[in-house]
Amino acid sequence: MPSIQAEAGTSVYEQEPNDDISTANEIRLDDFVTGTLTNIDVDNYKITIPEQGLFSLWGYSHDRVNAVSPALISEDGTSYFDCGEKEGSREFYCGDQVVQPGTYYIQITSGDNDLAVNGEGYTFNMYFTTPSVNRISGADRYETATKIANERWAEGTEDIVLATGEDFPDALAAGPLAFYLGGPILLTRKNQLPNTVLSFIEKSDVQTVTIVGGTAVISQQVENYLRNTLGLHVNRIAGKDRFETAANIAKAIPGKISEAVIVNGRNYPDALSIAPYASLGGIPILLSETTTLPAVTAETLRTKGVITTTVIGGTNAVSELVFSGLPKPKRIAGQDRYETSLLVSLMMGYDNVVYLASGANFPDALSGSVLAGVSGSPILLTPPTYLTEDTKEVIREFSAIKFTILGGSGAVSDQVERDLWDVIRNLE
């Protein structure tokens, strides 16, 4: 068998003959492979997968559009289905596939079945990710929020958004604002900044703090300390109630917008489920009562030029009467907060990692919403002590193998972590 095995991560080149699996060139998972298709040619490459993981491949033909097509085949002859060419381009791929340990073959053929292809060069490389279940947690919700922030902003950030860690209303709409500002959401007590927040501000060279909520939730004393003692620029976005605060947060994001999210302002799960999606899309989150749309919310929809709205939650959260009066509305709703979060995640999809947080409390999912949005991934809400069967099914549909739990075992138990590993091990 011709071998083109090289030092890990190096460029390697096809060696003929490799027209069937018995003569396949051996390659490493992190090699960059270059080959040439001659007339009526099939190029075979042999790889070894050391453990269960997520495999993908990306490559391009050197000259012709749709000239090269890959296939991933296991040793027993099973062909993995998600491989092909990107229509109208020189790119080809194998999408994310959960693979078990063993020997596999990559077959390269002419992508458009053109047997006249002769001398077409191509290059591809592979990606392999092993399963992981990580947890971001601290001694309390304040430390957890700063640890979540450190996952993305450890090298520094000019802006942070500061919300109360004691209640949820003012912070419900904060995710898209933090995403727009390019910084994390940190939590504080009403009258005193936690030491973990002070440490983050100092080491991250924070310049501006945007407080969401009035002095009833984050005191003037805290604002004065930030401005006068720490020398920071401080902005405060607040309103006479949670509905006006959310509207003012939306107005703080400049420009017209075509879409807004509407959630019930008297509870938090639906807002937390949609926050990563809304953050990523620059979509404001506005609040409603169950049976009436607050005037300030309606006014914000008009002044921001909203064309379409997405309501999160069923009619017990936002009634049909309110729904029917919104601009081009659509509704995403499950039987409960957990199913609703799954439906949101299916709309959003995921990129690399799936986040999980307790659906029984708000702080960890709130702090994690911006991190998830930046990552292009959803937050799945889970009961504290087990993983629902519907959640397991969505994970299987995603073929997800990398998870980050937001919060300690008091928020999301070790049993949920074990349930995740059980799902991962049984992915096919």
* CATH (domain of 46): 2.60.120.380
The answer to whether residue 1 sits within a structural domain is: no
Same domain membership, residue 166 and residue 99: no
Q: How far apart are the first and last CA of the chain?
A: 30
Same domain membership, residue 154 and residue 90: no
Same domain membership, residue 124 and residue 160: no
- DSSP string for 216-263: TTS-HHHHHIIIIIS--EEEEE--SSHHHHHHHHHHHS-S--SEEEEE
**pLDDT score of 6:** 41
**pLDDT score of 169:** 86
Query: Domain limits at 184?
Result: 133-425
**pLDDT score of 350:** 78
Final residue of a structural domain among 64, 98, 130: 130
**pLDDT score of 85:** 84
Same domain membership, residue 261 and residue 188: yes
Query: What residues contact 216, with CB distance under 8 A and at least 6 apart?
Result: none
Final residue of a structural domain among 81, 112, 130: 130
**pLDDT score of 3:** 38
Same domain membership, residue 111 and residue 151: no
Average pLDDT along the chain, 428 residues, taken 10 residues at a time: 49 94 95 89 94 91 86 86 81 87 93 62 94 96 97 96 93 94 97 98 98 97 98 98 97 93 96 94 96 98 97 97 98 96 91 91 94 94 97 92 96 97 89
The answer to whether residue 297 sits within a structural domain is: yes
The answer to whether residue 55 sits within a structural domain is: yes
Give the Cα separation of 201 and 186 in Å (integer). 10
